[in-house]
């Protein structure tokens, strides 16, 4: 190994040096202390010896693209020490070409240990949040065996629509926010768990007082999630909770201001609620319910077009219709 690279081994942070094929050439004392691997037993092995499935594939893909292009790369890894204990580090990998030979120098800085003892990358945290919200939603709607399928369809279709709307309208919403909207959409009708079954599943039209009770479900839903998340008191779910509350409370508001419970109008209605509103109505109309027959796809789409600018945000309807034009709803319709 070129002697110029030995200077990096004097750093206080953990340092690993590999050749162009990512074979380990040298590590420093800090690396030995953190990982438990001594230099003599790790030299000659591949740099991926510490790799675990807890670092998302997207991180590795980003690293690979950068180093193949000859650029430095920084990111966060969850690796495993020699004794199998997990460790979490911020790493910078820098390529060096010296006398025609390519080397990579990785400098690790161990992250402070979290109370939970585990670092969660963005993708893994999103999966955990989504799973918890799904269990919560289904457990609160267990009275109706068809509800789970409806909730899953709404969540899947919301994911499609929010991605399409973000792209089509050039909103530049970050990936994490798109995931939050899709995850939280499954809670949209959680307040219906507090509505008497005789009203909720009544065939035919509702009396005025029954309609008033039904329209209380957004308020009931907010009360339910506030009580549940008060017990969690975990910042991991803070943004997820706010998104869920916006969807629960406002997905029955109408673009023209005639919705409930607050009569919000236009863009005063949070975007996530406007998106779920279109998805929820589409699924409700295009499936059979205890109080109605299934509408045809043409009839359902005609309703969405007719309510564009009245019940629904026109731009969200247009984004939804673009999914139809691209035939991306075929799996969704097959699942009904």
pLDDT of residue 69: 86
Tell me whether residue 192 is one of the annotated catalytic residues: yes
Region 257-264 average pLDDT: 96
Region 181-205 average pLDDT: 84
pLDDT of residue 144: 54
Treating both helix axes as pointing N-terminal to C-terminal, what angle do 147-168 and 271-285 enclose, rounded to 10 degrees?
130
Map tokens 């580090």 to a residue.
89
Return the structure tokens found at 99: 């006398």
List the catalytic residue out of 64, 192, 245, 294. 192
Structural domains of the chain sorted by starting position, each given as residue range(s) with its CATH number in brackets? 3-110 (3.30.450.20), 122-334 (1.10.3210.10)
pLDDT of residue 137: 54
Residue 318 CA to residue 311 CA, distance in Å, equals: 13
Quote the mean pLDDT of the chain.
Answer: 83
pLDDT of residue 254: 98
Kindly state the helix (H) or strand (E) to which residue 90 belongs, with its residue range: strand 86-98
pLDDT of residue 331: 64
Instruction: State how far the alpha carbon of 277 is from the alpha carbons of 3, 154, 242, 248, 325, in Å.
Output: 64, 10, 17, 10, 20
Choose between 307 and 201: higher pLDDT: 307
Judge whether 280 and 188 are in contact, CB under 8 Å.
Answer: yes
Region 159-188 average pLDDT: 92
DSSP string, 238-306: HHHHHHHHHHHHHTT--TTS--SSS---GGGS-HHHHHHHHHHHHHHHTS-BTTBPPPPHHHHHHHHHH
For residue range 3-30, what is the model confidence (pLDDT) as tens digits?
778 888 888 888 999 999 999 999 999 9
For residue range 23-67, what is the model confidence (pLDDT) as tens digits?
999 999 999 998 999 999 999 999 888 888 878 788 888 888 988
Return the structure tokens found at 60: 């590795």
Rounded percentage of the chain residues whose pLDDT exceeds 70: 83
Kindly state the helix (H) or strand (E) to which residue 165 belongs, with its residue range: helix 147-168
Choose between 207 and 203: higher pLDDT: 207
Choose between 302 and 234: higher pLDDT: 302
Please check the confidence at residue 99 and state whether its pLDDT lies above 50: yes
Please check the confidence at residue 145 and state whether its pLDDT lies above 80: no
pLDDT of residue 225: 82
- pLDDT band at residue 113 under the 50/70/90 scheme: very low
């Amino acid at each position: 190994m070129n002697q110029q690279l030995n200077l990096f081994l004097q750093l206080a942070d953990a340092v690993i040096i590999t050749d162009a094929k990512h074979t380990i050439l040298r590590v420093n004392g800090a690396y030995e202390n953190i990982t438990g691997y001594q230099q003599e037993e790790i030299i000659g092995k591949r740099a991926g010896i510490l790799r675990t499935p807890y670092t998302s594939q997207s991180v590795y893909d980003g690293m690979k693209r950068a180093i193949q292009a000859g650029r430095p790369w920084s990111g966060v890894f969850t690796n495993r020490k020699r004794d199998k204990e997990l460790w979490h580090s911020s790493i910078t990998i820098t390529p060096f070409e010296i006398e025609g030979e390519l080397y990579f120098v990785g400098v690790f800085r161990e992250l402070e240990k979290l109370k939970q003892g585990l670092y969660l990358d963005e993708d893994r945290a999103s999966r955990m949040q989504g799973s918890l919200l799904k269990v919560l939603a289904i457990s609160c709607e267990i009275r109706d065996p068809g509800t789970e399928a409806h909730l899953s369809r709404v969540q899947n279709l919301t994911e499609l629509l929010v991605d399409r709307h973000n792209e089509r309208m050039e909103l530049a919403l970050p990936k994490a926010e798109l995931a939050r909207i899709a995850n939280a959409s499954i809670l949209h009708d959680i307040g219906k768990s507090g509505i008497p079954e005789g009203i909720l599943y009544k065939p035919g039209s509702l009396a005025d007082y029954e309609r008033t009770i039904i329209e209380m479900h957004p308020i009931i839903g907010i009360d339910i999630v506030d009580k549940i998340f008060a017990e969690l008191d975990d910042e991991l779910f803070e943004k997820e909770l706010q998104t869920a509350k916006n969807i629960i409370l406002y997905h029955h508001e109408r673009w023209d201001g005639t919705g409930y419970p607050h009569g919000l109008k236009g863009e005063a209605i949070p975007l996530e609620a406007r998106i779920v509103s279109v998805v929820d109505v589409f699924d409700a109309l295009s499936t059979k319910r205890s109080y109605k027959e299934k509408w045809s796809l043409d009839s359902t789409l005609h309703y969405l077009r007719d309510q564009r600018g009245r019940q629904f945000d026109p731009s969200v309807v247009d984004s939804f219709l673009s999914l139809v034009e691209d035939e991306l709803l075929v799996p969704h319709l097959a699942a009904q």
